[in-house]
Amino acid sequence: MIPPVVADTGGLLRALARTADDAPSFPSYETVLTSASRVIVPGLVLAEIDYFLREDRAAMRRLVAEIFDPGTRYEYELPVPSDIARALELDAKFSDLSLGLVDGTVAAVAQRRQVYRVLTTDRRDFSALRIGPRLTRALDLLP
């Protein structure tokens, strides 16, 4: 079984993107999405995706329906207060990256859930970031 993955905004948007003939626009991203045992979607990622899909409300409605369908591999993950606090700590510790709250929350959820695979387009920030109690654990960036 393929291990679970935490979805970042850019990675999830690319995984879901389709061409005019309904083929995946980014097949390697779609493969990660469809092969993971679980796809953890942090709540702030869903909010950011809503911003990017503001001109395509039908796509947003489909995505929300799929995420909240108990028959899918998606897991919606509300940030708990400790995730927000950790996100802010990571943003301060890695201030040269300008992580922000959404990316910091992705990392915090990954740390709390012990799911170190992240579907992302943001290699610059996530490859430099370290998580864990001593900030020594790198994330596995996909694809």
Enumerate the domain spans of the chain: 5-142
Using one digit for the tens of pLDDT, what is the confidence trace for 58-91?
Answer: 999 999 999 999 999 999 999 999 999 999 999 9
Each as own residue / partner, the long-range contacts of residues 139-142 (CB below 8 Å, 24 or more positions apart, any chain) are 139/107, 139/110, 140/116, 142/5, 142/11, 142/32, 142/117, 142/118
CATH top-level class for 5-142?
alpha beta
Digit-by-digit pLDDT tens for the chain (143 residues) are 799 999 999 999 999 999 999 999 999 999 999 999 999 999 999 999 999 999 999 999 999 999 999 999 999 999 999 999 999 999 999 999 989 999 999 999 999 999 999 999 999 999 999 999 999 999 999 99
DSSP 111: H
Q: What is the side-by-side order of every strand in the sheet holding 5-7? A: 74-77, 39-42, 5-7, 117-119, 140-142
> What is the signed CA dihedral for 131, 4, 7, 140, rounded to 10 degrees?
40
Q: What is the pLDDT of residue 1?
A: 74
